[in-house]
C-alpha cells in the first residue's frame, strides 16, 4: 500500500493539481471569513433579508467566532473533495492508465487503499491550510472592524477551531468516499463528477423539500452538512457520524469489491 | 535506440517456460474472445503473436497479465499461475495496446509513478529513458509527445522492472520506419540477453523480420505455434520462369504439365508450384526444347501467405464440420 500511496503523491504534487485543489479548497472558507467579518454589524436588525444574513459583533466575539465563516462553508470543501476523489479514480479508467498501474501493483485492494490514503492526506492538508488562512484573515480583519479577538485565543476558542478542522476533515473524507465510489462505478470524470454534484446538491434538496421531509435525518448530503457543522437542526453530530460511517463502510466495501472483480 | 541494454538480470537458461497456457478462454457475454488457447513459449526467444484485428491477441495478453479474468482454462507465467499475478509481475514488463500516460506529467514523472508503485529501483528511469532515446524530452509533458514518442515511453515503462519477460502489444504502432527498425533492434537486444519477448502485431512482415517463434491466432483460436523457420519451410515454394519470347509461355507451361507440375501464365511469366530443385530441371528442359529463359526465380512463401494458407484451411475444416453436422 505504501507504493500506491507514494505513487499517487507524484500525481498530486504537480503544480496544476496543487493550484486547483488548494485554490478551490481555500476559496470558499477565506471568502466566507472575509464576508462574515466585513458584513458584521454591532446591532443587527431584521431587514426582511434584503441585505442577506448579518452576524452581530457579539456573535463573532464568542470563542466560535474565529471559525464562524469557515464552519458555514465547510461542506463546500467537502464538495471539492467529492469532485477530487471522483476525478482521481475515474481518470485512471478513462485515460487507460489503470492497466499500467495494475501491472505494477496487481493487488487491487492495496492499490485502491494507497491511492485513497494519499487523497485523504491531500484533502487533509487542504482543510488545515484553508482553516489556517481563514483564521489569519479573521485576525487581520477583526481589529479594523473593532471586533474583540480576546475569546478567540482562549482555550475554548482554540478547541473550537480544532473541532472545526476535525469536522471539516471528516466530512471531506466521507464526501471523498462517495466520490471515489462514483468514480470507480462510472469510470469517467465527465459522468461521475456531474452525477455526484447533481445528487449532492439539487437532487437531495428536491427529495427532502418536495418528497420526503424526514430524509434530512437520513440522506447523506444532509448528514454530511450536519457533520461539518458539528451537528445542526437536521441531525445531531453523533447521529450524523454514526449514519455516515455505516453508509461509507457499505459504499467503500461495494466499490472495493467492484474494483477487484471487474476486468481492467 | 541502441541494442545494448542496461539490464543486468535475465533468466537465460532457466528451465521454466515463460508462458504456458492450457485451454485458456475468455467470454464477453455472447462473444468468445479467446477460445481454448494453448500456448507454450520457449525461453529467450522473440515470440510473435500474430492475427488480424479482433482475433484475440490483446485479450490473451490481458489474461496473461491478470488484467482480465479467464472464463475457462489455466495459464502460468514464469512458472506462476495467472490467478496470482502478484507473484510474477515484478519480473514482467508490459506495453498494453496504445500507450496510456498522464498527459499533464512529464515522461520522467510518469515512469516515477510506476517505479514508486512497483517499489522498483528509481535509478533505472534514466537508463530506460536513454535506451529509448527520450532523455532530452524526459522532462516535457507527455501531452506534447508524438505517438511514436509515447510508444517509446511505453517500451521504457515495460523495461523498468529489469524483466525476465517482456510483453509488447503492437509496439510499432505509430512509429516511423526508422523507429520501427530501432524497435526491432531493442527487441533483438533483449532476446540476445536471454530475456523472453512476446510481441503481438497484426503486421505480419514485422513479425517475420524480428521473431523466431510464432503463435498465430484467428477468431480466438491458436491456429499455429512453433518456430517461424519451420513454418515457412513447410510452405509450398514456387518457381517463376520468364521466357525471352512471350509466345513460348504456352510451350513452357506444357513442359511443366508433362512433368506433373501445376503452372499458370501470369502476364509475361510462368508461375510454377514446385520445389527449389525444379528450377534447374525446368531450365534444362526449356533449353532442350529451344526456349531461352531470361529469368528464373525461386520464391518462398511469406508469413502472410502462410497465415492465409493456414486460416483458409481452418475455415474449410470448420465449414466441412458444419456441413457434416447439418447432414
Contacts of B66 in chain A (CB under 8 A): 102, 106
Burial B88-124 (b: 16+ CB within 10 A, else e): bbbbbbbbbbebbbbeebbbbbbbbbbbbbbebeeeb
Number of CB pairs < 8 Å for A and B?
79
- pLDDT of B4 reads 39
- The pLDDT assigned to A50 comes to 59
Q: Is the pLDDT of residue B212 over 50?
A: yes
Closest partner residue to A100 (CB to CB) among B109, B114, B116 is B114
> In the prediction, which pLDDT does B250 show?
92
Distance of alpha carbon B88 from alpha carbon B164, whole angstroms: 10
For residue A30, what are the CA distances in angstroms to A75, B257, B320?
Answer: 14, 95, 78
Residue B92 pLDDT class (50, 70, 90 cuts)? very high
| Predicted pLDDT of residue B10 | 40
Whether B327 shows a pLDDT value over 80: the answer reads no
Tell me the average pLDDT of chain B: 86
* Chain centroid to CA B154: 18
Residue B309 DSSP SS3: helix
Q: Do B117 and A101 make contact, defined as CB atoms within 8 angstroms?
A: yes
Which three-class secondary structure string do you get for A167-188?
HHHHHHHHHHHHHHHHHHHHCC
Contact yes or no for B172/B204 (Cβ under 8 A): no
With both helix axes pointing from N to C terminus, report the angle between A68-94 and A15-38 in degrees, rounded to the nearest 10: 160
Give the residue from A141, A111, A119 showing the smallest Cα distance to A260: A111
DSSP state, residue A56:
B
The cell numbers describing B26, all together, are 475468455
Under 8 Å CB-to-CB from A162, ≥6 apart: which residues?
Answer: none
Q: Which residue of A has its CA nearest to B93?
A: A103
pLDDT at position B196 is 93
Burial (CB count <10 Å: 0-12, 13-18, 19+), residue A202: exposed
Chain B hits for A6, CB-CB cut-off 8 Å, are: 116-117
User: Nearest CA to CA, how far is A241 from chain B (Å)?
Assistant: 33
CA-CA distance, A242 to A223, in Å (whole number)?
10
User: Pick from B96, B103, B109: which is nearest to A10 by CB?
Assistant: B109
Contact B91, B165 (CB under 8 A): yes
| pLDDT, tens only, A214-245 | 888 899 999 999 999 888 888 999 999 999 99
Q: Do B105 and A14 touch (CB under 8 A)?
A: yes
What distance in Å separates residue B94's CA from the closest CA in chain A?
Answer: 8
Q: Can you read off the three cell numbers belonging to residue A252? A: 467503500
Highest mean pLDDT among A60-74, B47-61, B226-240: B47-61
Nearest residue in A to B82, CA atom:
A106
State CA A134 to chain mean position distance: 15
Per-residue confidence at B11, pLDDT binned at 50, 70, 90? Answer: very low
pLDDT of B99: 83
pLDDT of B86: 94
Nearest residue of A to residue B118, measured between CA atoms: A104
A170: cell is: 471528516
Show Cβ contacts of residue B304 under 8 Å, excluding neighbours closer than 6 positions.
B204, B205
Q: Give the pLDDT confidence of A64-96 residue by residue, as tens digits.
A: 888 888 888 888 889 999 999 999 999 999 999
CA distances from B46 to B69, B167, B188, B209, B222 (A): 26, 10, 7, 11, 18
pLDDT score, position A48: 58
- Is B83 an interface residue toward A (CB < 8 Å)? no
- Looking at residue A49, what is its pLDDT? 57
**Res B3: pLDDT:** 35
Q: Which residue of A has its CA nearest to B160?
A: A104
pTM: 0.83
Residue B297's DSSP bridge partners are B240
Residues in chain A: 264
What is the share, in percent, of chain B residues with pLDDT greater than 70? Answer: 92
Burial B216-233 (b: 16+ CB within 10 A, else e): bbbbbbbbbbeebeebbe
Contacts of B67 in chain A (CB under 8 A): 99, 102-103, 263-264
Per-residue pLDDT of B286-310, as tens digits, reads: 999 999 999 998 887 778 778 887 8
- For the segment B246-261, the average pLDDT, to the nearest whole number, is 91
Question: Which pairing describes strands B72-77 and B269-273: parallel, antiparallel, or unpaired?
Answer: unpaired
pLDDT in tens, B97-140: 778 999 999 999 999 999 999 999 999 999 999 988 899 999 99
Closest by Cβ to A105, choosing from B69, B105, B118: B118
> pLDDT under 50 in chain A at which residues?
none
Q: How do beta strands B92-95 and B238-243 pair?
A: unpaired
Evaluate whether ipTM surpasses 0.90: no
Comparing B216 with B311, the larger pLDDT belongs to B216
Interface of B with A in 151-190 (CB under 8 A): 157, 161
Point out the residue among A3, A16, A107 whose CB comes nearest to the CB of B116.
A3
Smallest CA–CA distance from A264 into chain B, residue: B67
Amino acid at each position: 500500500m505504501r507504493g500506491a500511496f507514494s505513487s499517487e503523491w507524484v500525481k498530486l504534487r504537480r503544480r496544476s493539481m496543487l493550484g486547483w485543489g488548494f485554490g478551490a479548497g481555500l476559496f470558499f472558507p477565506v471568502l466566507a471569513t472575509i464576508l462574515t467579518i466585513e458584513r458584521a454589524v454591532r446591532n443587527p436588525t431584521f431587514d426582511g433579508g434584503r441585505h442577506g444574513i448579518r452576524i452581530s459583533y457579539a456573535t463573532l466575539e464568542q470563542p466560535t467566532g474565529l471559525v464562524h465563516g469557515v464552519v458555514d462553508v465547510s461542506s463546500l470543501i467537502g464538495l471539492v473533495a467529492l469532485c477530487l476523489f471522483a476525478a482521481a479514480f475515474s481518470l485512471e479508467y478513462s485515460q487507460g492508465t489503470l492497466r499500467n498501474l495494475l501491472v505494477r501493483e496487481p493487488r487491487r485492494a492495496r492499490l485502491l487503499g494507497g491511492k485513497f490514503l494519499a487523497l485523504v492526506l491531500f484533502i487533509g492538508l487542504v482543510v488545515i491550510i484553508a482553516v489556517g488562512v481563514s483564521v489569519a484573515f479573521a485576525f487581520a480583519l477583526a481589529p479594523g472592524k473593532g471586533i474583540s479577538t480576546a475569546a478567540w485565543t482562549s482555550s475554548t476558542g482554540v478547541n473550537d477551531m480544532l473541532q472545526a478542522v476535525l469536522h471539516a476533515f471528516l466530512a471531506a473524507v466521507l464526501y471523498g468516499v462517495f466520490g471515489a465510489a462514483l468514480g470507480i462505478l462510472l469510470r469517467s470524470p465527465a459522468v461521475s463528477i456531474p452525477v455526484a454534484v447533481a445528487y449532492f446538491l439539487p437532487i437531495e434538496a428536491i427529495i427532502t423539500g418536495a418528497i420526503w421531509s424526514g430524509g434530512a435525518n437520513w440522506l447523506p448530503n444532509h448528514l454530511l452538512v450536519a457533520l461539518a457543522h458539528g451537528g445542526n437542526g437536521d441531525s445531531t453530530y453523533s447521529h450524523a457520524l454514526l449514519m455516515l460511517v455505516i453508509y461509507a463502510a457499505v459504499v467503500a466495501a461495494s466499490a472495493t469489491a467492484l474494483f477487484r472483480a471487474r476486468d481492467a | 535506440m541502441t541494442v545494448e541494454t542496461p539490464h543486468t538480470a535475465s533468466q537465460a537458461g532457466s528451465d521454466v517456460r515463460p508462458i504456458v497456457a492450457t485451454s485458456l478462454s475468455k467470454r464477453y457475454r455472447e462473444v468468445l474472445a479467446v477460445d481454448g488457447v494453448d500456448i507454450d513459449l520457449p525461453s529467450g526467444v522473440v515470440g510473435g503473436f500474430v492475427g488480424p484485428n479482433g482475433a484475440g491477441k490483446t485479450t490473451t495478453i490481458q489474461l496473461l497479465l491478470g488484467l482480465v479474468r479467464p472464463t475457462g482454462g489455466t495459464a502460468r507465467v514464469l512458472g506462476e499461475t495467472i490467478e496470482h499475478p502478484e507473484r510474477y509481475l515484478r519480473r514482467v514488463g508490459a506495453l498494453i495496446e496504445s500507450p496510456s500516460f498522464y498527459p499533464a506529467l512529464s515522461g520522467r514523472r510518469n515512469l516515477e509513478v510506476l517505479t514508486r508503485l512497483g517499489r522498483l529501483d528509481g535509478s533505472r528511469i534514466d537508463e530506460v529513458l536513454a535506451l529509448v532515446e527520450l532523455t532530452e524530452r524526459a522532462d516535457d509533458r507527455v501531452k506534447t509527445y508524438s505517438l511514436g514518442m509515447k510508444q517509446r515511453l511505453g517500451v521504457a515503462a515495460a523495461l523498468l522492472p529489469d524483466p525476465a519477460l517482456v510483453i509488447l502489444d503492437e509496439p510499432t504502432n505509430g512509429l516511423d520506419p526508422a523507429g520501427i527498425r530501432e524497435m526491432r533492434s531493442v527487441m533483438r537486444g533483449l532476446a540476445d540477453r536471454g530475456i523472453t519477448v512476446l510481441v503481438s502485431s497484426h503486421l505480419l512482415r514485422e513479425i517475420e523480420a524480428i521473431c523466431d517463434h510464432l503463435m498465430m491466432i484467428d477468431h480466438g483460436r491458436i491456429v499455429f505455434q512453433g518456430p517461424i523457420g519451420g513454418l515457412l519451410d513447410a510452405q509450398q515454394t514456387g518457381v517463376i520462369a520468364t521466357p525471352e519470347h512471350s509466345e513460348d509461355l504456352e510451350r513452357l507451361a506444357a513442359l511443366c504439365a508433362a512433368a506433373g507440375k501445376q503452372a499458370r501464365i501470369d502476364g509475361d511469366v510462368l508461375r510454377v508450384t514446385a520445389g527449389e530443385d525444379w528450377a534447374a530441371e525446368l531450365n534444362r528442359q526449356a533449353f532442350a526444347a529451344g526456349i531461352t529463359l531470361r529469368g528464373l526465380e525461386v520464391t518462398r512463401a511469406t508469413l502472410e501467405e502462410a497465415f492465409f494458407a493456414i486460416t483458409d484451411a481452418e475455415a474449410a475444416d470448420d465449414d466441412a464440420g458444419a456441413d457434416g453436422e447439418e447432414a
